[in-house]
Homo-oligomer: A and B are copies of this chain.
Amino acid sequence: MPRTGRDGRYHHGDLRAALIDTAVEIIGERGVRGFSLAEASRRLGVASSAPYAHFADRDEFLAAVAVHAYELFNKQFLPEINEFPEPADRLAALVRSYVRFAGAHRPLFEVIFVAGLDKTRHPEVKAAEKPFEDAYTDIVRTLSTDGPESGHPTGEARTPAPESGHLTGEAADLAAAIEAAAYGHAMLLLEGDYGRGGEAVELAADRAARATLALVESRHLLRRRAP
């Protein structure tokens, strides 16, 4: 929301936020790799050097966009899974939300997954993605220790799942398969393999959700011998 100062020039109360909005626009048109801070400045009518008052360099700016992307996902899409009590359905819903997010906010999805940011250099990004990762690992862990086919008689003592951290064994295999399926569907959607409109998004999301259920159903086939 630019406002005009006494001198007739445009000034932005929040150039930082305006830059992120404009970046989303540009990335939507040209892709992440076609984005430049210079063009964003041009569109906002500010000097090409103005962004450097808020961000050290281009990478740090993209990291800020990535954080924005995760916050949006966590707020708007993650809650969708709470409609489902069963772990398998929750997982399918999570995958569906993931693909929907890719379709509805393609530029943000691109920044997160296609830009190739070095996350180790941007801890803010890692922190922002944590809610999503936690939701995911929680469900997968539940599924592989408590699934309908795991064969635990009622009341049997179970080793408690670790509270956080990496998955192991069957859970890791299932998680990897579903992660790849979700990512693959999202990428094919963005490449136009499913068409262009909103139906394409739902088609891709639906297929991804079904693939998730199929993988859960046949998860015994995913198991690998210990290396």
Q: A31-B116, A210-B223, A218-B218 are in contact. List 13 more A-B contacts (CB 8 A).
A: A176-B188, A177-B181, A177-B214, A180-B187, A181-B184, A187-B187, A199-B227, A206-B224, A213-B221, A214-B214, A214-B218, A214-B219, A217-B218
Find out whether the CB atom of B173 lies under 8 angstroms from the CB atom of A207.
yes
Classify chain A's interface size.
20 to 34
Some 5 contacts from A to B, beta carbons below 8 A apart, are A173-B207, A177-B207, A184-B185, A187-B187, A210-B223
Residue of A31, A206, A218 with most partner-chain B CB within 10 A: A218
> How far apart are the CA atoms of A208 and B176 in the complex, in Å?
9
Q: Say yes or no: is A183 at the interface (Cβ < 8 Å to chain B).
A: yes
> How far apart are the CA atoms of A180 and B199 in the complex, in Å?
18
Given contacts A211-B215, A214-B218, contact A183 B188 (CB under 8 A): yes
- State the oligomeric state as a number of copies: 2
Q: Say yes or no: is A93 at the interface (Cβ < 8 Å to chain B).
A: no
> How far apart are the CA atoms of A183 and B191 in the complex, in Å?
12
> How far apart are the CA atoms of A207 and B180 in the complex, in Å?
10
Q: Say yes or no: is A182 at the interface (Cβ < 8 Å to chain B).
A: yes
Query: Residues of B contacting A179 with CB < 8 Å?
Result: 184, 188, 193
A186 to nearest B CB, angstroms? 8
Q: Say yes or no: is A18 at the interface (Cβ < 8 Å to chain B).
A: no
B191, B193, B208, B222: the one within 8 Å of A207 (CB): B222
Find out whether the CB atom of B181 lies under 8 angstroms from the CB atom of A188.
no
Q: Say yes or no: is A33 at the interface (Cβ < 8 Å to chain B).
A: yes
As a 0/1 sequence over residues 59 to 92 of chain A, the CB contacts with chain B under 8 angstroms (1 = contact) are: 0000000000000000000000000000000000
